[in-house]
Structure 1
Amino acid sequence: MLEQLMGLIQDHSQDAIVNNPAIPNQHNNDAMQTILSSVTGGLQSQAQSGNISGLMGLLSGSSGTGSGLMNNPIVGGIAQNAIQSMMEKFGLSNNAASNVIAQVLPGVLTSVISKTSNPNDSSMDFGSIMGSLLGGQQARQTQQQGGFDFNQIGYAMADGKLDMNDVMRIGGSLLGGGGAGNSGGGLGGLLGGLFGK
């Protein structure tokens, strides 16, 4: 995931970083790495704190795309962290750092959303992102114990809502493998995470 994310940041940084006289050319890559760290750190803290529903809402596009993304609280936290880091590392003013982040972050996240919510694009998907955020081993154990696939949840929420049909479809796959006794906790934990409980 990190390589793809860095590629997207490079794609969206030409004007904001590479052509920006406030950031000397020798610091271009460091500036992009700073944004990468802020994005991955922000998403990872949300995943590890259990805000699966918030992440799924963001990554499925139900929170909006483009500049509207900046109103999402997860994105707002990532942006604040990135702005602070840019100010500290490169001596930018708050205004200059904010402009860089406002030019790069919405485009990067819109591209991520486009890839993750498209079942025909396998370059990035919910499963690989959640696996990276939760740590591969933990995500594999969760998937083995509960039998669910994060991609199912993401695609179910791609229309901006999680309705009863989506829950039944996801629940059916959860209970289908290994018996209800083994999977009930996984289903309860998953639904609790989705609905913020």
Structure 2
Amino acid sequence: MLEQLMGLIKDHSQDAIVNNPAIPNDQNDSAMETILGAITGGLQQQAQGNGIASVMGLLGGQGGASGSTSLMSNPIVANIAQQAVSSLMQKFGIGNSAASNIVSQVLPGVISSVISKTNDPNDSSLNIQDFVGAFSDGKLDMNDISNIAGKLMGGGGQQGQAGGLGGLLGGLFK
């Protein structure tokens, strides 16, 4: 999963990081790793803070993902952005404006790609199970996740009763 996330970050970082004079070329990978750390840390923090349903909602496309502006207003994404900006400023000695510009160019594209991949039944490169397993530290079992997915997607918490994406998610977690 981390390799796939890093690949998405690299895909979305050409202008923001690679072609950015504020980040020395020999530090491009480190800047991308900093963003990866903010994404994984932010999702893990949310999941472990009893917010696994929020993470699943975001990755399931229910978190205001209909554009980069609305995606950045999602509280989880906003927290990740704040962490990434702070880390970039600290690690590379750049100002808030430069760091914010990098994050606003990279993060929405990466998160949108993750959402797209986790919701595409024909793309198995990333799935919600991987994220939930990685970020919940084993505190939830698959039945708990299926029940959360069912509630989140309108199935009342009963496996097999949710239609659409909820039904699909319920089927994934059996």
TM-score category (smaller protein): 0.7 to 0.9
2: distance between equivalents of 1:130 and 1:149?
Answer: 8
Which 5+ residue runs of structure 1 have no aligned equivalent?
173-197
**Divergent runs of 4+, >6 A:** none
Deviations 1:76-105 (A, max 9, x none): 111011001100111111000000000000
Note if contact 1:87-1:94 (Cα within 8 Å) is conserved in structure 2.
Answer: yes
**RMSD in angstroms over aligned alpha carbons?**
2.3
Which position in structure 1 is the counterpart of 2:141?
Answer: 142
Letter in 1 for 2:136: L
Which position in structure 2 is the counterpart of 1:79?
Answer: 81
Which 5+ residue runs of structure 2 have no aligned equivalent?
163-174
Letter in 2 for 1:33: E
After TM superposition, list the pairs within 5 Å mapping 1:17-96 onto structure 2: 17-65=17-65, 66-67=67-68, 68-96=70-98
Comparing both structures, which one devotes a greater share of its residues to helix?
1
- Secondary structure of the 1:169 match is coil
Deviations 1:134-184 (A, max 9, x none): 23xx26x723xxx4555992xx68xxx632x36333589xxxxxxxxxxxx
TM-score of the aligned structures, taking structure 2 as reference length: 0.83
1: distance between equivalents of 2:107 and 2:33?
Answer: 13
Percent identical pairs in the alignment equals 54
The number of residues matched between the two structures is: 160
1: distance between equivalents of 2:18 and 2:92?
Answer: 14
Which position in structure 1 is the counterpart of 2:157?
Answer: 167
Note if contact 2:18-2:28 (Cα within 8 Å) is conserved in structure 1.
Answer: yes
Note if contact 1:126-1:150 (Cα within 8 Å) is conserved in structure 2.
Answer: no
Letter in 2 for 1:51: G
- Judged with a 3 Å threshold, the aligned counterparts in structure 2 of structure 1 residues 26 and 104 are, in CA distance, closer, same or farther, namely same
Higher relative contact order (CA 8 A, sep 6+): 1
TM-score of the aligned structures, taking structure 1 as reference length: 0.74
Q: CA deviation at 1:118?
A: 1.7
Larger radius of gyration: 1
